[in-house]
Protein backbone atom coordinates (compact mmCIF):
# COMPACT_ATOMS: atom_id res chain seq x y z
CA UNK A 1 0.00 0.00 0.00
CA UNK A 2 1.26 3.44 -0.95
CA UNK A 3 -0.42 6.30 0.88
CA UNK A 4 -0.11 10.10 0.86
CA UNK A 5 -0.59 11.79 4.24
CA UNK A 6 -1.16 15.53 3.71
CA UNK A 7 -0.31 18.47 5.93
CA UNK A 8 1.93 16.96 8.58
CA UNK A 9 3.38 20.44 8.98
CA UNK A 10 1.61 23.76 8.31
CA UNK A 11 2.88 26.24 5.72
CA UNK A 12 4.26 28.51 8.46
CA UNK A 13 6.08 25.58 10.06
CA UNK A 14 7.50 24.56 6.68
CA UNK A 15 8.79 28.10 6.10
CA UNK A 16 10.63 28.10 9.45
CA UNK A 17 12.02 24.59 8.93
CA UNK A 18 13.28 25.50 5.46
CA UNK A 19 15.06 28.56 6.77
CA UNK A 20 16.85 26.36 9.30
CA UNK A 21 17.68 23.65 6.73
CA UNK A 22 19.13 26.23 4.36
CA UNK A 23 21.72 27.09 7.04
CA UNK A 24 22.33 23.53 8.23
CA UNK A 25 25.63 21.64 8.30
CA UNK A 26 25.14 19.16 5.46
CA UNK A 27 27.46 16.17 4.99
CA UNK A 28 28.04 13.56 2.29
CA UNK A 29 25.08 11.13 2.34
CA UNK A 30 27.37 8.15 1.74
CA UNK A 31 28.44 8.33 5.38
CA UNK A 32 25.18 6.65 6.47
CA UNK A 33 24.79 4.25 3.53
CA UNK A 34 25.53 0.54 3.39
CA UNK A 35 28.07 -0.86 0.93
CA UNK A 36 25.74 -1.34 -2.02
CA UNK A 37 23.64 1.77 -1.33
CA UNK A 38 26.74 3.96 -1.17
CA UNK A 39 27.51 3.11 -4.79
CA UNK A 40 24.13 4.53 -5.89
CA UNK A 41 23.75 7.37 -3.36
CA UNK A 42 24.73 10.93 -4.29
CA UNK A 43 23.17 13.42 -1.89
CA UNK A 44 23.72 15.42 1.28
CA UNK A 45 22.53 14.47 4.73
CA UNK A 46 22.40 15.87 8.26
CA UNK A 47 24.34 13.92 10.88
CA UNK A 48 22.15 11.68 13.01
CA UNK A 49 23.18 13.57 16.15
CA UNK A 50 22.73 17.03 14.60
CA UNK A 51 20.68 19.16 17.07
CA UNK A 52 18.51 20.58 14.27
CA UNK A 53 17.74 17.10 12.96
CA UNK A 54 16.72 15.94 16.43
CA UNK A 55 14.51 19.00 16.98
CA UNK A 56 12.62 18.60 13.71
CA UNK A 57 12.41 14.81 14.14
CA UNK A 58 10.77 15.17 17.56
CA UNK A 59 8.19 17.58 16.14
CA UNK A 60 7.53 15.20 13.22
CA UNK A 61 6.92 12.19 15.42
CA UNK A 62 4.73 14.19 17.78
CA UNK A 63 2.47 15.17 14.86
CA UNK A 64 2.44 11.70 13.31
CA UNK A 65 1.46 10.08 16.60
CA UNK A 66 -1.55 12.40 16.60
CA UNK A 67 -2.34 11.77 12.92
CA UNK A 68 -5.24 9.27 12.56
CA UNK A 69 -4.34 8.40 8.96
CA UNK A 70 -0.72 7.56 9.77
CA UNK A 71 -1.66 5.58 12.88
CA UNK A 72 -4.33 3.62 11.00
CA UNK A 73 -2.07 2.80 8.04
CA UNK A 74 1.24 2.18 9.79
CA UNK A 75 0.11 0.66 13.12
CA UNK A 76 3.53 1.70 14.46
CA UNK A 77 5.39 -0.31 17.06
CA UNK A 78 8.87 1.23 16.71
CA UNK A 79 10.18 4.11 14.61
CA UNK A 80 13.76 4.67 13.52
CA UNK A 81 14.61 8.32 14.30
CA UNK A 82 13.95 10.45 11.19
CA UNK A 83 16.92 11.43 9.01
CA UNK A 84 17.21 14.42 6.68
CA UNK A 85 18.61 14.74 3.17
CA UNK A 86 19.12 17.27 0.42
CA UNK A 87 19.39 16.61 -3.30
CA UNK A 88 20.86 19.36 -5.50
CA UNK A 89 23.32 19.84 -8.40
CA UNK A 90 22.40 16.51 -10.02
CA UNK A 91 22.08 14.64 -6.71
CA UNK A 92 20.38 11.27 -7.05
CA UNK A 93 19.94 7.87 -5.41
CA UNK A 94 19.70 4.92 -7.77
CA UNK A 95 17.37 1.92 -7.42
CA UNK A 96 17.78 0.13 -4.10
CA UNK A 97 15.88 -1.65 -1.31
CA UNK A 98 16.17 -0.39 2.25
CA UNK A 99 17.99 -2.55 4.81
CA UNK A 100 15.64 -4.96 6.59
CA UNK A 101 16.89 -3.96 10.05
CA UNK A 102 18.31 -0.64 11.26
CA UNK A 103 20.15 -0.10 14.53
CA UNK A 104 19.59 3.22 16.29
CA UNK A 105 22.83 5.13 16.68
CA UNK A 106 24.28 4.86 20.19
CA UNK A 107 21.66 2.31 21.26
CA UNK A 108 21.03 -1.44 21.28
CA UNK A 109 17.56 -0.75 19.85
CA UNK A 110 16.89 -2.35 16.47
CA UNK A 111 14.01 -1.52 14.15
CA UNK A 112 12.66 -3.89 11.51
CA UNK A 113 11.87 -1.74 8.46
CA UNK A 114 8.33 -2.69 7.46
CA UNK A 115 7.40 0.77 6.15
CA UNK A 116 9.40 3.61 4.61
CA UNK A 117 8.33 7.24 4.80
CA UNK A 118 9.45 10.44 3.07
CA UNK A 119 8.24 13.84 4.23
CA UNK A 120 8.86 16.63 1.73
CA UNK A 121 10.14 20.07 2.79
CA UNK A 122 10.38 21.49 -0.75
CA UNK A 123 7.42 22.22 -3.01
CA UNK A 124 7.43 20.58 -6.47
CA UNK A 125 7.95 23.89 -8.31
CA UNK A 126 11.13 24.63 -6.34
CA UNK A 127 13.17 21.95 -8.11
CA UNK A 128 13.30 19.91 -11.32
CA UNK A 129 13.59 16.14 -11.11
CA UNK A 130 13.82 14.59 -7.66
CA UNK A 131 10.80 12.30 -8.05
CA UNK A 132 10.67 9.38 -5.64
CA UNK A 133 10.13 6.42 -7.97
CA UNK A 134 8.63 3.37 -6.27
CA UNK A 135 8.06 -0.02 -7.87
CA UNK A 136 5.19 -1.84 -6.18
CA UNK A 137 2.53 -4.43 -6.99
CA UNK A 138 0.52 -1.80 -8.91
CA UNK A 139 3.42 -0.78 -11.17
CA UNK A 140 5.80 2.16 -10.98
CA UNK A 141 4.69 5.17 -8.93
CA UNK A 142 6.34 8.60 -9.26
CA UNK A 143 5.95 10.70 -6.12
CA UNK A 144 6.62 14.44 -5.80
CA UNK A 145 4.47 15.92 -3.05
CA UNK A 146 3.81 19.42 -1.68
CA UNK A 147 6.00 20.54 1.21
CA UNK A 148 4.55 19.22 4.46
CA UNK A 149 3.09 16.05 2.93
CA UNK A 150 4.36 12.53 3.62
CA UNK A 151 4.33 9.36 1.54
CA UNK A 152 4.18 5.96 3.26
CA UNK A 153 5.06 2.75 1.40
CA UNK A 154 6.33 -0.80 2.04
CA UNK A 155 10.08 -1.01 2.67
CA UNK A 156 10.19 -4.12 0.48
CA UNK A 157 9.70 -1.87 -2.56
CA UNK A 158 12.54 -1.12 -4.97
CA UNK A 159 12.81 2.67 -5.20
CA UNK A 160 15.05 5.55 -6.29
CA UNK A 161 15.27 9.35 -6.34
CA UNK A 162 15.63 10.92 -9.76
CA UNK A 163 18.47 13.44 -10.30
CA UNK A 164 17.67 16.99 -9.18
CA UNK A 165 18.72 19.27 -12.05
CA UNK A 166 17.47 22.61 -10.66
CA UNK A 167 16.97 23.90 -7.13
CA UNK A 168 17.12 21.76 -3.99
CA UNK A 169 14.91 18.95 -2.72
CA UNK A 170 14.83 18.85 1.09
CA UNK A 171 13.14 15.91 2.80
CA UNK A 172 13.10 13.68 5.85
CA UNK A 173 12.96 9.90 5.69
CA UNK A 174 12.50 7.19 8.30
CA UNK A 175 11.36 3.63 8.83
CA UNK A 176 8.59 2.10 10.92
CA UNK A 177 8.35 -1.33 12.46
CA UNK A 178 4.64 -2.05 12.39
CA UNK A 179 2.61 -4.13 14.80
CA UNK A 180 1.60 -6.05 11.65
CA UNK A 181 4.55 -7.30 9.58
CA UNK A 182 2.75 -8.18 6.32
CA UNK A 183 1.74 -5.34 3.99
CA UNK A 184 -1.32 -7.23 2.70
CA UNK A 185 -2.63 -7.66 6.25
CA UNK A 186 -1.94 -4.01 7.13
CA UNK A 187 -3.82 -2.97 3.99
CA UNK A 188 -6.89 -5.01 4.94
CA UNK A 189 -6.86 -3.59 8.45
CA UNK A 190 -6.48 -0.03 7.13
CA UNK A 191 -9.36 -0.42 4.69
CA UNK A 192 -11.57 -1.92 7.40
CA UNK A 193 -10.66 0.85 9.85
CA UNK A 194 -11.45 3.55 7.28
CA UNK A 195 -14.81 1.89 6.55
CA UNK A 196 -15.63 1.71 10.27
CA UNK A 197 -14.78 5.40 10.68
CA UNK A 198 -17.01 6.33 7.73
CA UNK A 199 -19.91 4.28 9.09
CA UNK A 200 -19.41 5.76 12.56
CA UNK A 201 -19.82 9.19 11.02
CA UNK A 202 -22.75 8.40 8.71
CA UNK A 203 -24.77 5.81 10.68
CA UNK A 204 -23.35 5.96 14.22
CA UNK A 205 -26.17 3.92 15.78
CA UNK A 206 -25.99 0.99 13.35
CA UNK A 207 -25.66 -2.26 15.36
CA UNK A 208 -23.25 -3.79 12.81
CA UNK A 209 -20.59 -1.30 13.90
CA UNK A 210 -19.97 -3.26 17.09
CA UNK A 211 -19.46 -6.47 15.14
CA UNK A 212 -17.20 -4.82 12.56
CA UNK A 213 -15.11 -3.14 15.24
CA UNK A 214 -14.79 -6.45 17.07
CA UNK A 215 -13.67 -8.20 13.87
CA UNK A 216 -11.05 -5.49 13.28
CA UNK A 217 -9.58 -5.94 16.74
CA UNK A 218 -9.69 -9.72 16.54
CA UNK A 219 -7.73 -9.59 13.27
CA UNK A 220 -5.25 -7.17 14.81
CA UNK A 221 -4.96 -9.51 17.81
CA UNK A 222 -4.27 -12.44 15.48
CA UNK A 223 -1.77 -10.67 13.21
CA UNK A 224 -0.17 -8.19 15.61
CA UNK A 225 3.28 -8.64 17.14
CA UNK A 226 4.16 -6.81 20.34
Feature table: binding site for Fe cation? 96, 98, 159
| Neighbouring residues of 128: CB distance < 8 A, sequence distance ≥ 6 | 164, 165, 166, 167
* DSSP assignment of 101-150: EEEPTTSS-EEE-SEEEEEE-S-GGGEEE--EEEEETTEEEEE-PPTT-E
Residue list for the binding site: 96, 98, 159, 169
Number of residues that this document lists for the chain: 226
Torsion of CA 93, 99, 100, 106, to 10 degrees: -130
Give Cα 73 to chain centroid, integer Å: 11
Q: Return binding residues for 2-oxoglutarate.
A: 169
Q: For the chain, what is the radius of gyration of the CA atoms?
A: 18
Separation of alpha carbons 29 and 193, rounded Å: 38
Amino acid sequence: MLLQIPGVFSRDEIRRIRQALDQANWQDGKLTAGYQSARAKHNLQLAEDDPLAREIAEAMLERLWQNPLFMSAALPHKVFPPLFNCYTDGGTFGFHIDNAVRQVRGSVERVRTDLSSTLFFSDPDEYDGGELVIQDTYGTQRVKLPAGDLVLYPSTSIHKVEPVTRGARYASFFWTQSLVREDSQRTLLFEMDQAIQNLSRDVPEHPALIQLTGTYHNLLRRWGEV
